[in-house]
Chains A and B, each alone.
Chain A
Amino acid sequence: MAEGGNAVIDIHQVSFRYPEQETYALKDISFQVYEGEWLAIVGHNGSGKSTLARLLNGLQFPETGSITVGGLPLSEENVWEIRRRVGMVFQNPDNQFVGTTVQDDVAFGLENHGVPRDIMVERVHDALERVRMSAFLDREPHHLSGGQKQRVAIAGIIALQPKVIILDEATSMLDPVGRKEVLGTIRELKSEVGLTVISITHDLEEAAQADRMIVMNQGQVYKEGVPREIFQMDEKLIALGLDIPFPVKMAKALKTIGFDFPMIYLTDEELVDALWTLHLSK
């Protein structure tokens, strides 16, 4: 579904290194993000994933190369407009909660962009409705669970009505329930509002659900493709310090005792289907 769509983000030969460092955090990276897709970026620690996210939001500027967001080139003048278009949810739910209460936090971004108060109230309520947190308007952050805080963070972003939402390991500090909740919320939003999602993640089950994946290795794009293609690499992924999702592992283990599967299965359901039909055909 991705190829051929309109590119929302165009990254062209971008290199970046942190000040006073010899090695490049990102080296000669080029790819495009298409409208309405779910792109997962995976890679081991220090492969440059998070740096990439910071570049997309103008928190850092590339040393060479160019980044274009929705036709707007990233530069000092455009950076605030780009931040309005590209929302970012960070890893630690506690450290990105600015407001004293839930509604203040959602309003924070709107206040920054000078949105008039009556529109602000409407958007805050609407955004909280969407993430199913409207019952928590006046709650303080320390009374919320991690998953709830992340949902508030997402509400704060969608209140700004961005085109792209970047999840910078947004679920990595959550328990499995919270993770499922947050991802479910984003998936719903994506189909409702037509968001483009860039998810930077260690969670391969999550990446397996994406439309497209980019594997990063030592500051470079190692491989780009749909999850099924990527997880075919199997041993190579493990050599890169990554893992493979459980169904793929399971199928692999079954293969060693004589089962034969025609393809890669990414979800439990696909594998279960394959197993019971296999049993029937025997």
Chain B
Amino acid sequence: MMEKMIFGRYIPGDSVIHRMDPRSKLIFVFVFICIVFLANNAVTYAILTAFTMLVMLLSKVPVRFFINGLMPILWLVVFTFFLQLFFNREGQLVFHYAFIRIYSEGIRQGVFISLRFLLLIFLTSLLTLTTTPISLTDGIEMLLSPLLKIKFPVHELALMMSISLRFIPTLMDETEKIMKAQMARGVDFSGGSLKDRVKAIIPLLIPLFVSSFKRAEELATAMEARGYQGGEGRTKYRLLVWRPADTLSLCSLAAVTVLLVLFRDGGIL
């Protein structure tokens, strides 16, 4: 079950991107998501694509991992593409058969929007592929720390995140175990009508919930026994180091932003 899961999966490696500070990576991805929307013509999309490719190459992560990450969302990409293709009524009429009319602008927009999706998916999966969950949590905690001023429970949020991440595989294993145990008793998970299928989920869900409660209680006891008293007065084992590469990556992103602003339609040029 774990093998198919790509979401949040970390691929150990040793590249420039792997060694980067999670904070800079988080900022990078956040800014990238914003500037993707600046692109609106062939030149700007070319710049973005080239930039994304470069980053992917630098990470040395095999392409198949990106493709795997794409699979669950592929239908959305295809759906938006066809939506644009069939319903965009701008530009010249390129193709006409029965009720299907395809316009030039439809093709253009379809390609651009699918490309935008692809770029976003590739870059965001790059973040999880090259960063361990724990350093991601650390990064988020540090980036959110200004919110402490308005009494936002940053430490608690970070702890919750790291515990959830740590328990994902454990719970997956357990789900599989319960599923098999229920199958052995004659519960059919794969067949039947929609109603039957939903019903079959119940003998899986209830034990999973109950055991999660039990787990939570035991974990809380163990944490307390080891002296956990909340965020105050705690030191941190993990250290985040901001290196020149981090500054450099953000600078390169700034450069790309400037290029996008210059070359986009209705931009400065």
Binding site for B on A (CB under 8 A): 54, 57, 59, 80, 83-84, 87-88, 90, 92, 94-101, 103-104, 107-117, 120-121, 124, 140-142, 156-157, 160
Whether A108 contacts B218 by the Cβ 8 Å rule is no
Known contacts A59-B224, A92-B218, A140-B169, A111 near B132 by CB under 8 Å: no
Whether A108 contacts B228 by the Cβ 8 Å rule is yes
The interface size bin for chain B is: 20 to 34
Whether A109 contacts B218 by the Cβ 8 Å rule is no
CA of A95 to CA of B211, assembled, Å: 11
Known contacts A107-B237, A117-B237, A80 near B218 by CB under 8 Å: no
Whether A95 contacts B215 by the Cβ 8 Å rule is yes
B2, B224, B235, most chain A CB atoms within 10 A = B235
Whether B227 contacts A83 by the Cβ 8 Å rule is yes
Whether A124 contacts B222 by the Cβ 8 Å rule is no
Whether B229 contacts A124 by the Cβ 8 Å rule is no
Whether A112 contacts B227 by the Cβ 8 Å rule is yes
Q: Which residues of A contact B137 (CB under 8 A)?
A: 100
Q: Which residues of B contact A96 (CB under 8 A)?
A: 218-219, 222
Whether A100 contacts B166 by the Cβ 8 Å rule is yes
B166, B170, B237, most chain A CB atoms within 10 A = B237
Whether B226 contacts A108 by the Cβ 8 Å rule is yes
Complex interface bits, B223-236 against A, C-beta within 8 A gives 1, otherwise 0: 11111110001111
Whether A90 contacts B228 by the Cβ 8 Å rule is no
B234-257 CB contacts (< 8 Å) to partner A? 234-239
Q: Which residues of B contact A111 (CB under 8 A)?
A: 234-237
CA of A54 to CA of B218, assembled, Å: 12
From residue B102, how far is it (CB to closest CB) to chain A in Å? 50
CA of A89 to CA of B180, assembled, Å: 31
